[in-house]
Amino acid sequence: MKKPVLLIAAMAVLALGGWGTLRGSPSDTPEVQGMAILDAEGNAVGRYAVPADKDILAQSNADEILYGKRLLADTARLLPDNVGAAMNCNSCHLGDGKIEGANGYINTVNFYPRVMPRAGKNVDLEMRINGCFQRSMNGKPLDPDGPEMKAMIAYMDWLRQDVPKGQTVDIVNAGPIDESLLPDPENGKRIYAAKCAACHGANGEGMRDQSGDILFPPLWGEESFNIGAGMARTYKAAQFVKWAMPPAMHLTGQLGQGGVLSDQEAVDVAEFFTHMPRPDFPGKVNDWPNGNRPKDARY
């Protein structure tokens, strides 16, 4: 006999730790809010709760944080000299970077600087953001010391809620995908037509609103991310597709929790759209200088 839907939902909520304990718990049971904060050894040392945007107004640099939030959400319109694709930062970082499994910003400030295999060197947050502008946005880097860069980082810094360096919130930016699966692009083409084209276009062209602003980004063509972007890799893209797409079809559970496509379906559709024509990236010749190029890299 199947468990009632409400019971299944309740179990999912408790497992995710996103809503704390359910209403109606015994009064002597402490309410657990948010997600665990982990130290470098993986020990829980506190709890993190995703902050409400209204809390920004209490910050001394509220204007800078709000500007950063706007830039991340409306990047192409606000920074046309730096964005060559029909993309915004939040095209790939859903829900203003607050959603688990959808490339969140919550741990971003604490994640950098670090040695990145693709660069083969230590990369700080400014360098990482500019890498996205050059690859995912197919554009030009920002001034690392300019107000736009500082504003974006101010928003990410506010979002981490003073979790100190050396600690992280217990979330994943992208859920796992089975990389042993062999992709079937023909099946991916069928899946794309059935579950992706309504938003991203029959020809991968994306969708704009009445004012011409981006609603859903193009997945291939001259206005899409270039070949040097992480999203141009089959298994990297499949992670995002599996856990965060398609949002309009998440009838149960939360965005970022998967449940729409199987691993095989995600790999198939990712293979299909990542291998469609897209802009080149001349700087790709410098990638993975120390070897260990991923098997799904296009070059």
Q: What is the pLDDT of residues 240-272, one digit of tens each?
A: 999 999 876 555 556 666 778 999 999 999 999
Q: Judge whether residue 192 has pLDDT over 90.
A: yes
Q: Is 36 helix (H, G, I), strand (E, B) or coil?
A: strand
Q: Judge whether residue 236 has pLDDT over 70.
A: yes
Is residue 122 within 8 A of residue 114, CB to CB? The reply is yes
What does the pLDDT read at residue 256? 64
Q: Was domain 53-169 assigned CATH 3.30.420.40?
A: no
Average pLDDT over residues 144-160: 98
What does the pLDDT read at residue 188? 98
Tens digits of per-residue pLDDT, 193-213?
999 999 999 999 999 999 999
- Residue type (1 letter), 50: V
Give the residue range(s) of CATH 1.10.760.10 domains in the chain: 53-169, 185-286
Regarding predicted confidence, which is higher, 9 or 40? Answer: 40
What does the pLDDT read at residue 251? 53
What letter does residue 202 receive in the DSSP assignment?
Answer: T
What letter does residue 274 receive in the DSSP assignment?
Answer: H
What does the pLDDT read at residue 30? 40
Tens digits of per-residue pLDDT, 90-145?
999 999 999 888 999 999 999 999 999 999 999 999 999 999 999 999 999 999 99
* CA-based R_g, the chain, Å: 20
Is residue 260 within 8 A of residue 245, CB to CB? The reply is yes
d(CA 87, CA 219): 10
For residue 178, the tally of other CB atoms under 10 A from its CB is: 13
Q: Judge whether residue 171 has pLDDT over 70.
A: yes
Average pLDDT over residues 72-76: 97
Q: What pTM does this model have?
A: 0.85
- Averaged pLDDT score across all residues of the chain: 88
Q: Judge whether residue 14 has pLDDT over 80.
A: no
Tens digits of per-residue pLDDT, 76-89?
999 999 999 999 99
3-state helix, strand, coil in the chain (%, to 5): 40, 5, 55
d(CA 40, CA 163): 12
Sheet containing strand 35-38, edge to edge, reads 44-48, 35-38, 168-169
Q: Which two three-digit tokens encode residue 219?
A: 């997945």
Look up the CATH architecture of domain 185-286: Orthogonal Bundle (1.10)
For residue 285, the tally of other CB atoms under 10 A from its CB is: 9
What does the pLDDT read at residue 7? 32
Beta bridge partners, 48, equal: 35
What does the pLDDT read at residue 57? 98
